[in-house]
Chains A and B, each alone.
Chain A
Amino acid sequence: MTILNESGIPDVLPPLHAVDALAERFENVLVVVAGTQAEAHLVQCLSAARSQNPSPFRHNPRLVFAVLDPDAPPQQGLLASRIVESAAGMRGTDLVLLVAGRSAESIGVDAAFEARLVARKLDLPAEVVNPDAPREVPGTLSTDLEDGVIAALVNLCPKRRTSDLVQTASPAKRGGLFGGLLGRGREAQDSGDGRPVVLLGGALSPGAAQGLAAELLRAGVEVAGAVPESRIEELPPLGEGTVVAVMDPNLKAAATVAERRGATVVRTLMPIGVDGTARFVQDVAEEAGSRTSEAVRARSAWEDLGALRNRIRGKRIFFAGDTGLEIPLARFLADAGAVVLEVGAPRLDRRFLAAELQALGPDVDVVVAPDYRGQADRIDEARPDVVITSPGLHLPLIARGHLCRSPRDFLEAGLYGYGGARTILELLVHTMERAAALDSLNL
């Protein structure tokens, strides 16, 4: 593996685009985007463009834009009182997320102060998410907002140790995602010395955490819950003694917050692909105090994928880089026999992704901060079989005759765990099959 820094302008979807999907994802959360007209327009346009079904236009009532006037900066506290007014019109709000980036700051809005004020007035938690938050490693990923939101939610997790909570929590309250799984897990090992495991990630692929929890349970590990959960009261306790398992490669900020709370963040592969899932389950289980070997399970998973692997073997794949998910995806596809030509990484946190980078095959080139025009030229030259594109390159590349998929397609299809490995390969195979069918038409 070679890492090359191109110092270009990567083609990345603005992180704010995810606001709409995140507001959909959570129940009872009021999301306020504070900024100029630009932020509001961006969120609205990109969610309309992204939407599979634009008609009829449905605006999410729990997403509100605070459009600030740069010529008349609001007085301190005004934003908070407006948010309070608008939350009053909505029933059952559990949390206020104030998304405020660089422009709100330049206009002179102290987002943290406003959030504290909202929290005090409404007697509800209110958290600030900064999509432009400075990071140790330069660069922007399109999934940075998910990271910020999960970090905010980690802050909201109850701090008590799970062992205390197990006794106090009433079973009726456990109606959530993990209700069934948890019940069984606790009965089996109620006084075991295993440490509670919390999954971090999968914000926009619902059901992902559930699948992985089932996988971990099979390995004898109890999963206390996941962040994010659709409902705030279902957030698992997270603090000292908790084992945090990160599912997405972009969750640096969230992992840091968890660590700061005293939790142990497992440094392992992301649960993407067969080997990734196996290492993930094994390492998380070990950290949680139960020894397990996934070797048998991994081998049978690879055997199950035999037919699909034959279709993928030798196919040349190019990752333009947008979400950060490209690195584990490339790792899995290279293991599955595909030829990975290049992996674009708009931002590469080598320390956080150390395990992933080590596992990346020897022939894979990672290009940090790739220049998208240069990438387009390289793609034209190399003519890969499939390009996993970034948003701005998607249509131009299709127009040049390349076969393209967006990394978001994988996310929506569900790419975690052993089942996800199959989904990834199927998605690629279907793409190629369809292209072949279209090519065979005599137009």
Chain B
Amino acid sequence: MRLLRGVYEGPQSHGILRTATSIRGVHALLRALPGEAYFPTLYGARERTGRMAPVTLSPMRTEPEDSMAPGSLDRDLSGVVRRHPKTEAVVLVRSEASLLREENIPVTSLPEKENRKPTLVTFSWESPGMKETEAAELALEDLIRSQMHETPERSPYPTVNLFGPPIFGPGAAAEYAEAERLLDLIGVEVNARAPLGADARDLGRLPRAWANVLLYREVGESATLFLQDEFGMPRVTTPMIGAAGTGAALRALGELCQLDPKSVQRTIWAELARTAKLPWYARLEPPETFRNRKVAIFGDFTYPLGLGYALAREVGLEVVACGTYLTHLERDFLFHAHTFTEGTFVEEDPEAVAARIEAAEPDLIVGTYLEEGVADSLGVPFLPLCPPAAERPFVERPLMGYAGSSVLADALDNVLRWRTREPAGEAGIRWTDGALQEVASVPPFLRGRARRLAEDRARQRDSEEVTREIFLESRS
């Protein structure tokens, strides 16, 4: 048990729902207490498309058996099939309360409707302690398995599948679109996107493609491994973040699809001249803009690693800390992150993350929306480029591909143009031991702020040092 001030990930049911609702033609039946069904509300608030979430609640109730109220799993399942005749697959998701109560879920099959019978997908690995991302990954694999009825023919021309982020990712749809645009330029067609933007029927047609491009490893890893084992489909795993990463991914893909390497390279050069502004920005700025400037990065897996590599190599910032909250990917993360920084860490507690970042004394923080507090308290610029994000833009902007590198260049240009100056006079203020002891009792992510307030108070009172009394006064 831990006392936390925030969480980076949701529970496993949330992860499954994110994967399931990303795919058209999939309807989820959520077995949960009425008080746990927050997904539809969140779906509306985050997506803002006006579509109703393809999720139906099957409430756990303690009511007499003969009541016709919803709550009987069998009846609710057939209700879903009846109400949503176009559904290809029904996913049964169990909430934490349902799993904790060890409810017995009878193995049912779905009723037929107009000679079509949707597949029922249940997950045997669900457990109340599992987290969102891991569950999303396993759910995608199981969904693909469930739709794999026959092996389709390989397409006559080179095609690939894109495995990207699920819904609620910041600019998730834009990432797919940018990757598709680049693939189109080198002459490779996209067979299917998964999970976001896929149709349930697309999942059965995945083996048509020649290769799988893994944009977002967190969710696509086990699905692409399954396709590799089962159908011998090779995959490209280089994160398409930054110009170098994107180029490497395109070249690797060109090789897999037996494209002419020279023509791929020509396309890359053309894009570097036209779209990719990150290398151009790095050359344009004087080296002083980047020299001795430290950045701390925190997020999931693909984004911190991709951004860390791009910021360290392509831009030339010093990455002083790079962390992830995905504890189940710890080894892989540390392995990759060590190529560009010494300050790697894996941490789930936002307060501990804040402490790590604070200790690294960065000049810029790239993180999830939970890191905004520590950036604010340190008084350094902040870029919320990693999921989870609180933003819900109407115009989605990619962070991957060449267009994404330009988005990154713009973001950096905005925050690095002004150098953080030490406020005058701050150096002159001393802290007494008593005051420092009090600071230690303040939660780390509030500490910087508390310090500033105390120093302001000391200045107001013309005191040359922050005493315990002044500190307490500033806190009251």
Contact = CB atoms under 8 A, between A and B. Distances in A.
Given A48-B369, A61-B5, A38 B35 contact: no
A15 B35 contact: yes
Interface stretch (B125-133, B216-224, B291-299, B459-467): B125-133
Interface in B337-387: 350, 369-370, 372-373, 376
A12 B37 CA distance: 8
A243 to B, nearest CB: 33
B50 A396 contact: yes
B33 to A, nearest CB: 6
A184 to B, nearest CB: 30
Contact of A41 (B3, B11, B99): B11
Interface string B1-43: 1111111011101100000000000000000011111101110
A11 B40 contact: yes
B46 A49 contact: yes
A37 B36 CA distance: 12
A10 B99 CA distance: 23
Contacts of A74: 1
Nearest to A54: B390
B105 interface: no
Contacts of A10: 34
B51 interface: yes
Interface in A48-63: 48-50, 54-59, 61, 63
A59 B1 contact: no
B267 interface: no
A82 B14 contact: no
Interface in A118-149: 131-132, 138, 140, 144
Given A36-B128, A37-B9, A38-B36, A399 B51 contact: yes
Interface residues of A, number: 74
Interface residues of B, number: 67
Contacts, number: 189
A369 B391 CA distance: 34
Nearest to B43: A392
A398 B50 contact: yes
B6 A392 contact: no
Contacts of A57: 369-370, 372-373, 390
A30 to B, nearest CB: 11
B476 interface: yes
Contacts of A32: 3
Contact of A54 (B370, B391, B442): B391
B443 interface: yes
A82 B38 contact: no
20 contacts: A8-B70, A11-B40, A14-B38, A17-B38, A36-B128, A37-B131, A54-B391, A57-B372, A64-B5, A67-B2, A67-B7, A68-B1, A69-B1, A70-B127, A74-B1, A103-B96, A103-B97, A392-B40, A396-B52, A400-B50
Given A38-B10, A67-B4, A392-B44, 9 more contacts: A7-B68, A7-B69, A8-B69, A14-B34, A37-B11, A66-B1, A140-B35, A395-B49, A399-B50
Interface of B: 1-7, 9-11, 13-14, 33-38, 40-42, 44-46, 48-53, 56-57, 59, 61, 63, 67-70, 83, 95-97, 99-101, 127-129, 131-132, 350, 369-370, 372-373, 376, 390-391, 441-443, 445-446, 472, 475-476
7 closest Cβ contacts across the A-B interface? A399-B50, A41-B10, A106-B100, A38-B11, A49-B45, A392-B40, A70-B128
Interface of A: 7-17, 32, 36-38, 40-42, 44-46, 48-50, 54-59, 61, 63-72, 74, 78-79, 82-83, 85-86, 88-89, 91-92, 101-103, 106-107, 131-132, 138, 140, 144, 369, 373, 376, 391-396, 398-400
